[in-house]
Structure 1
Amino acid sequence: MDTALNTALLLLVLLQAKHMFADFFLQTPRMLAARSTYVHFGRAEHAFLHAILSFVALKICGAPLGFSVVLCAVEWVAHYHIDWVKGYHSERKKHGPTDAAYWRAFGLDQLMHQLTYIGMIWAFARYAF
């Protein structure tokens, strides 16, 4: 296998692992509260945690410093807004874990995050490798 593909796959694995930890193990009550509020420090903190862990993943894969900072800033903005849309929709519709619509929104939220990672890997391969 060629080096670029190996590096892209490693980055994918690292981004998947960081997503699991940041979304399912490291969220605090403040990060989970008031999900429908647009300006929300907890959501900003949560998205920043994702960006920091993505920065680590990019550096492990050899991405340049400036590229990593810019890409993670873009991820921070994307993650913040993806989570806000899900929170706003779920609270407005009063959907909870016992509603099928809640899980559809959850699945769409996760898909958007995964597509963000595909975009990040593409940018890494195109501009930083």
Structure 2
Amino acid sequence: MDQYSAILLLFAALQIKHLVADFFLQNAKMIMGRERYWHMGRTQHAAIHVVLSALCFVMFGTAPTLILWIVIVEFVVHFHIDWGKARFSVDNKLTPEQPMYWYAMGTDQALHQLTYIAMVWAWLAFS
């Protein structure tokens, strides 16, 4: 497989992973109370993301040490992106009826996508 195809397929795998982890595998425990910094549900949610990301990188033959570094950084970043959005949403009492709620949701999702760009860059740079 050429490098361009591998990059596109890795991005596709990370997109599918994100859909599954962010929307299909979240439950009420992971969502409720996420504005608190130390929140077990958000920790579990970020852990699901890193396990699925690790599987994506395994499928592309990535060295275990590189996978470990990538997912450690992803965990920290994902945890804080979600905490920031939750804190902002609760502080501003946002509901889906308000445009600012969707701005916060869109910003959250864009930051996650930028994280995947950084992860693929690390994969390219250090593989």
Into which bin does the TM-score normalised by the smaller protein fall? over 0.9
* Separation of aligned partners in 1, 2:58 and 2:125: 16
Give 1:103-114 correspondences, 5 Å limit: 103-114=102-113
Counterpart of 1:15 in structure 2 is: 14
Q: How does 1:89-128 map to 2 (within 5 A)?
A: 89-128=88-127
Q: Give ranges in structure 1 of 5+ residues lacking alignment.
A: none
Q: Distance in 2 between matches of 1:97 and 1:34?
A: 17
| Counterpart residue number, 1:82 | 81
CA shift at 1:111, angstroms?
0.2
- Taking only aligned residues, the RMSD between alpha carbons, in angstroms, comes to 0.8
Counterpart residue number, 1:58: 57
Instruction: Give the length in aligned residue pairs.
Output: 127
Structure 1 stretches of 4+ moved >6 Å:
none
Q: Distance between the aligned counterparts of 1:5 and 1:62, measured in 2?
A: 16
The corresponding residue for 1:70 is 69
Q: CA deviation at 1:35?
A: 1.6
Partners of 2:57 and 2:2 in 1: CA distance:
15
Amino acid at match of 2:110: L
**TM-score, structure 2 length as denominator?**
0.98
- Could you tell me how far 1:108 is from its partner in structure 2? 0.2
Name the amino acid aligned to 1:86.
K
SS of 1:95's partner is coil
The residue type paired with residue 31 of structure 2 is: L
1: CA distance between counterparts of 2:62 and 2:7?
A: 11
